[in-house]
């Protein structure tokens, strides 16, 4: 007699979350388009990377993707947002984020350390153990003393 077991739902959800998180890293190796303009004046190189990343996310979440055969159909409902560090650390995307939805489920995909971004290595990662007050970013309740990493604060 052959018996089959249902897939472990927690494992399937973790794998889906991992896959949707992996997609946001599709921008990691893209060199920021050069611009002769002053910072903050269009054309905006971060916008160009966001547009490219949006197309890639939509491709992988699309119905014809091999990924949707495994995780089902998802939709990009917000983002992506790409953050570029200040010069001279702005050669590659520093951070990126987007939100995907399937029915009443939402997954926030956040890019991990971009191996090509000096800002990630030298600032965000090295200062992760140093904590800073979060008072500038959220209301402080007297009983709580929220903290964030110094690498996040100074980014």
Q: How does pLDDT run across 110-123, given as a tens digit for each residue?
A: 887 888 888 877 87
| pLDDT tens-place string over residues 2-61 | 444 555 666 678 888 888 888 888 888 888 876 665 554 445 788 889 999 999 999 999
CA-closest candidate to residue 99, choices 28, 36, 24, 34: 24
Q: How many helices (H) and strands (E) does the chain have?
A: 5, 5
Q: Are 130 and 124 contacting, i.e. CB atoms less than 8 angstroms apart?
A: no
Q: For all residues of the chain together, what is the average pLDDT?
A: 80
Confidence of residue 99 (pLDDT cuts 50, 70, 90): very high
| 132 SS3 class | strand
138 has a pLDDT exceeding 70: no
Report pTM. Answer: 0.73
**Predicted local confidence at residue 102, as pLDDT:** 94
Contact 123, 155 (CB under 8 A): yes
């Amino acid at each position: 007699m052959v018996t089959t077991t249902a897939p472990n739902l927690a494992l399937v959800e973790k794998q889906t979350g991992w896959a949707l998180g992996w997609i946001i890293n599709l921008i990691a190796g893209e060199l920021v388009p050069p611009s002769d303009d002053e910072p903050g004046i269009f054309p905006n190189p971060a916008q160009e990377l966001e547009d490219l990343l949006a197309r890639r996310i939509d491709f992988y979440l699309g119905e014809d993707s091999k990924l949707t055969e495994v995780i089902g159909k998802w939709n990009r409902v917000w983002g992506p947002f790409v953050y570029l560090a200040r010069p001279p650390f702005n050669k590659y995307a520093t951070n990126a984020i987007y939100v995907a939805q399937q029915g009443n489920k939402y997954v926030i995909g956040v890019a991990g350390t971009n191996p090509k971004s000096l800002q990630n290595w030298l600032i965000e990662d090295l200062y992760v153990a140093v904590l800073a007050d979060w008072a500038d970013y959220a209301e402080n309740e007297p009983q709580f003393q929220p903290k964030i990493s110094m690498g996040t604060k100074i980014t």
